[in-house]
Structure 1
Amino acid sequence: MTKSNIAKLQGYWYFLKKNKSALAGLIILIVLLFVALFAPYLAPNDPLQRSLAHRLLPGFWAGKEYAQFPLGTDYLGRCILSRIIWGTRTSLSVGFIAVGISTLIGLVLGLLGGYFGGKIDTFLMRIVDIMFAFPSILLAITIMAALGPGLEKAMIAIGIVYSPQMARVTRSAVLVIREMDYIQAEKALGASHLRIIWHHILPNSLAPVIVYSTLSVANAILDAAALGFLGLGALPPTPEWGAMLSNSRQFLLSGAWWAATFPGLAIMISVLGLNLLGDGLRDILDPRLRV
């Protein structure tokens, strides 16, 4: 890594430290990644272990005798805290892999359409417009209906659903960059299209893509939870926040509020952290927004 790149990273870190909300989002993300990575060591119980004798037990607030299950148990007697910890790995995997798929597809479509323009751009953007005509969750459900339920299928479905937005973001950045003087100079010198795209267009269009990708991870986690809530995401007994919320919602009014409340809080905290970090990255990577 060159000294200029190190200096640039140090500058980004300086502005990140000044942005308290972005720093809070980064801390939340680091904690989530830590929990996901060390789930086997952090979970107090087996997340799949059933015990009807321990069905819908309260947690630590009910007394020391319930310390075995700090956040209580669900309708099958499984430890809610352990399932939330393991569900962190599931939800983050869906979010990052789905956004990775959408970013790959969106970059290809956006780079080709924005750089070449003309009929290629028109054709690719009409495909994008057709996908935009459907609500994202409805399109994801349609794709899941074709692929079948399952965690891997949910990643693919969400990745496809988010690719049009990523293509639009990439294309808008490429349309500006391709008119820059240094791009025209490269063309005049006889540089190939592949060289121009790989060495100049792509690196300089990544800033908005990174910001949008970070925000999309939060939305992908929400959509994965929605698919799990509908029974189209992770298959039982895999711990997944949306499925946990779906299976426990009927107990909210029957006294066992903890069964659905804590998975819902896990979704809220993760989405909040990623949104705070995404907003902060937007401010850091755009010099016009730095304060």
Structure 2
Amino acid sequence: MKAETLRSLWSFPKNHRMRASMLLLAAYIILALGASLIAPQDPYDPLQIQAWEASSPPGTFGSSGYMYLLGTDGLGRDVVSTILYGLRLSLLVAVTSTAIAAFIGLILGVSAAYFGKWVDAIIMRVVDLQLSLPTILVALVAIVTLGPGVDRIILAIVIVQWASYARLARGVALSEIGKPYVDAARLLRLPTWRILLRHLLPNSVAPAITLIPIELGHAVALEATLSFLGLGVPIDKPSLGSTVANGFQYLMTGQYWISVFPGIALFGLIASINFVGEDVRRRLDPRSSSHDA
């Protein structure tokens, strides 16, 4: 990757939509990291939850004197607090699963290109099979097999995402294998793992950067979908998806705030990630003749 491309990547965009997306995503990250300091209530602590104040509308004052700005859910938890803690959990699941999937996918893709023959055939047939199936179907089968839980949903998303990275890394590695530095490494009889990790893998990472933001937004949406269906994060651990699901049953009774406000936060998070990912792709795509940097 050229130095000017790196400088362009870290420069602040002139496009107003991209600016707003970057600032919104930065705000989400800050709120998630500071959830325990910012949130007025710990939704994990039953001692801080007043069950008799369940389903209180926005603007209601609680017995402790604090005003529930966005109301409370059906368990008496402050909706603002569940959004902040849910944001932290959703981002934790998405970032962790995307990082693991990228690492596994890059390793397998580079290995398929380097070893070729039956190794390449097996890995790429598995990749082709998985990518031919609907993402939500693969995720549902994985989570039903593994069971609910934060660690299980991370593993399920990894199973869904690794194939995209493997295909991308294989294509890049195939173009690198015939270059002089790889031939020199072989002539020096360097260990195979060193050629893969020190030479081929670093040159496959740059193209994967354009895929990571897309898969990150996909992971947030997938976790929210599974949690909404009751197959992801347990109901006692608020993520944005499970928080929306918890309030869905109250919509018909007019208690819209339990689902609507977390849903707006979820939409904003996914949209900001996708817009920032689009900007990253445009900056790193060598075929783009110009971009708003």
Q: CA deviation at 1:253?
A: 3.1
Is the deviation greater in 198-207 or in 255-264? 198-207
State which of 23, 29, 36 in structure 1 corresponds to 2:32: 36
What corresponds to 2:257 in structure 1? Answer: 258
CA contact (8 A) 2:5 2:284 kept: no
CA gap of 1:36–1:63, structure 2 versus 1, over 3 A, is closer
Deviates more, 1:47-56 or 1:35-44: 47-56
The structural deviation recorded for 1:133 is 3.8
Matches of 1:254 and 1:128, distance apart in 2: 46
**Could you state the TM-score of these two structures normalised by the residue count of structure 2?**
0.87
Gaps of 5+ in 2: none
Mind listing any 5+ residue stretches in structure 1 that lack a counterpart?
none
With 19-28 and 79-88 compared, the bigger mean Cα shift is at: 19-28
* Paired residues for 1:38-187 under 5 Å: 38-48=34-44, 49-60=48-59, 68-184=67-183, 186-187=185-186
Moved more, 25-34 or 253-262: 25-34
Tell me if structure 2 keeps the 8 A contact 1:94–1:151. Answer: yes
**Could you tell me how far 1:223 is from its partner in structure 2?**
0.8
How far apart, in 1, do the equivalents of 2:79 and 2:8 lie?
A: 42
Letter in 2 for 1:71: L
Residue 285 of structure 1: how far off its partner (Å): 1.6
Is 2:14 the counterpart of 1:13?
no
Give the aligned CA root-mean-square deviation in angstroms.
2.7
Q: Which residue of 2 aligns with 1:196?
A: 195
Distance 1:182 1:19, change over 3 A: farther
What is the rounded CA distance, in whole Å, between the counterparts of 1:46 and 1:143 in structure 2? Answer: 31
Letter in 2 for 1:32: Y
Percent identity reads 34
After the TM superposition, which of the residue ranges 232-241 and 189-198 deviates more from structure 2?
A: 189-198
1:188, 1:53 → 2: CA distance? 75
Alpha-carbon distance in 1 for matches of 2:18, 2:121: 37
In structure 2, C-alpha distance between the alignment counterparts of 1:265 and 1:116, rounded to whole Å:
47
Q: Give, in angstroms, the shift of residue 188 of structure 1.
A: 5.4
Bigger Cα displacement from structure 2, 139-148 vs 213-222: 139-148
